[in-house]
């Protein structure tokens, strides 16, 4: 009986199979890096934020000072809950986690630490992920409190920043209490558009009379061709001794457990 001759694998066929295998491995890696890893790292960053808040609960208030420009009512005594004149903390050290960002629109359990600086040691850190531009103001201070985070990888802290709607609350939590900002709008700029970090965004040399928060990230997804910029304006101040705002009380209490 004559057996059929086996076809010898050609070099092109072998090379094609290797490319297909490599492609599958690349897709699996991207799935891990962009999706599953972001979930894992995001959870780690939320846990770090909860731990930071627990430390604040058992620590005395910081050495921060009342914000300038007091109203006549403030001169008579301490700022009441919901006052528009917040305490401003002392400038933190480089890479120090000094605040938490809480944005209900980004998730019922969204709470991420904010560290000083926007270098890779902060933005690519599994325990932080959100960084504060050191040249900008601090939470509650007159001017522009600007922060940055990735939209993909390293926890993707600002992945859904484009979902913010006018009127959404943006809370910044520190050892002193909670600063509530309200989202007002978004714009898109080139990577060179550093005017968004000015005390009055996009207005060089202007003197600010408002308290602004600016959230920055890359745009579009998987690209750094542009920047997406979300702005909010200060609304109210809640001292820690008086408890958190009702809107985030459940999240704060869950994190304290």
**The three-state (H, E, C) secondary structure of 1-30, written as one string:** CCCCCCCCCCHHHHHHHHHHHHHHHHHHHH
231 occurs within a structural domain? yes
Least confident span in 5-9, 56-60, 103-107: 5-9
Instruction: State mean pLDDT over 223-233.
Output: 96
Higher pLDDT, 61 or 24: 61
| Average pLDDT score, the chain | 86
Annotated active-site residue 227? The verdict is yes
d(CA 77, CA 70): 11
pLDDT of residue 36: 72
pLDDT of residue 44: 95
Q: Does the CA dihedral 58-60-63-65 come out positive or negative? A: positive
Identify which of 151, 253, 154, 161 has the alpha carbon closest to the alpha carbon of residue 213.
161
206 occurs within a structural domain? yes
Q: pLDDT band for position 126 (50/70/90)? A: very high
Given a cut of 90, whether residue 191 has pLDDT beyond it is: yes
Given a cut of 90, whether residue 114 has pLDDT beyond it is: yes
CA 254 vs CA 113, 175, 235, 239: distances in Å: 16, 18, 24, 19
CA 47 vs CA 53, 127, 141, 215: distances in Å: 10, 8, 27, 21
Q: Find the CATH number of the domain harbouring 69.
A: 2.40.260.10
How many CB atoms lie under 10 A from the CB of residue 229? 23
Tell me which of 132, 151, 227, 240 is the catalytic residue. 227
For 195-236, where are the alpha helices, taking DSSP H only?
none
- Print the domain residue range for 40: 27-256
Q: Is 253 helix (H, G, I), strand (E, B) or coil?
A: helix
How many CB atoms lie under 10 A from the CB of residue 126? 14
Instruction: State mean pLDDT over 42-48.
Output: 94
pLDDT of residue 58: 84
Least confident span in 76-85, 136-145, 184-193, 239-248: 76-85
pLDDT of residue 78: 43
Structural domains counted in the chain: 1
16 occurs within a structural domain? no
Q: pLDDT band for position 67 (50/70/90)? A: low
Annotated active-site residue 218? The verdict is yes
2 occurs within a structural domain? no
Higher pLDDT, 241 or 24: 241
Instruction: State mean pLDDT over 110-137.
Output: 97
Annotated active-site residue 132? The verdict is no
10 occurs within a structural domain? no
75 occurs within a structural domain? yes
6 occurs within a structural domain? no
pLDDT of residue 39: 86
Higher pLDDT, 236 or 13: 236
Tell me which of 132, 218, 219, 240 is the catalytic residue. 218
Tell me which of 150, 151, 211, 240 is the catalytic residue. 150
Count the helices and strands in the chain (H runs, E runs).
4, 10
4 occurs within a structural domain? no
pLDDT of residue 37: 78
Strands (E), the chain: 65-66, 87-88, 97-102, 111-116, 130-132, 143-149, 169-173, 177-189, 211-219, 226-239
Cα-flanking dihedrals φ and ψ of residue 254, to 5°?
-65, -40
CA 24 vs CA 13, 74, 83, 221: distances in Å: 17, 63, 56, 21
d(CA 30, CA 64): 44
Q: What is the DSSP letter of 184?
A: E
Identify which of 118, 128, 130 has the alpha carbon closest to the alpha carbon of residue 161.
130
């Amino acid at each position: 009986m004559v057996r059929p001759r086996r076809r010898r694998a050609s070099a092109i066929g072998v090379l094609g199979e290797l490319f297909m295998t490599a492609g599958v491995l690349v897709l699996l890696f991207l799935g891990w890096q962009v999706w599953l890893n972001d979930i894992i790292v995001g959870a780690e960053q939320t846990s770090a934020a909860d731990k930071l808040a627990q430390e604040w609960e058992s620590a005395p208030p910081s050495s921060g000072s009342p914000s300038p420009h007091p109203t006549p009512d403030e001169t008579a005594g301490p700022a009441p809950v919901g006052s528009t004149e917040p305490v401003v903390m002392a400038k933190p050290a480089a890479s120090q986690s000094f605040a938490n960002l809480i944005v209900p629109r980004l998730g019922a359990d969204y709470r991420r630490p904010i560290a000083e600086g926007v270098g890779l040691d902060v933005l690519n850190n599994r325990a932080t992920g959100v960084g504060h531009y050191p040249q900008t103001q601090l939470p509650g201070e007159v001017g522009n409190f600007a922060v940055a985070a990735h939209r993909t990888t390293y926890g993707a802290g600002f992945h859904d920043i484009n979902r913010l709607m006018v009127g959404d609350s943006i809370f910044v939590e520190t050892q002193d209490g909670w600063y509530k900002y309200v989202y007002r709008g978004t714009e898109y700029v080139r990577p060179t558009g550093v005017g968004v970090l000015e005390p009055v965004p996009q207005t060089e040399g202007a003197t600010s009379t408002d308290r602004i928060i600016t959230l920055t990230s890359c745009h579009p997804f998987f690209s750094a061709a542009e920047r997406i910029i979300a702005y909010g304006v200060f609304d109210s101040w809640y001292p820690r001794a008086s408890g958190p705002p009702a809107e985030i009380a459940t999240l704060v209490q869950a994190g304290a457990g």
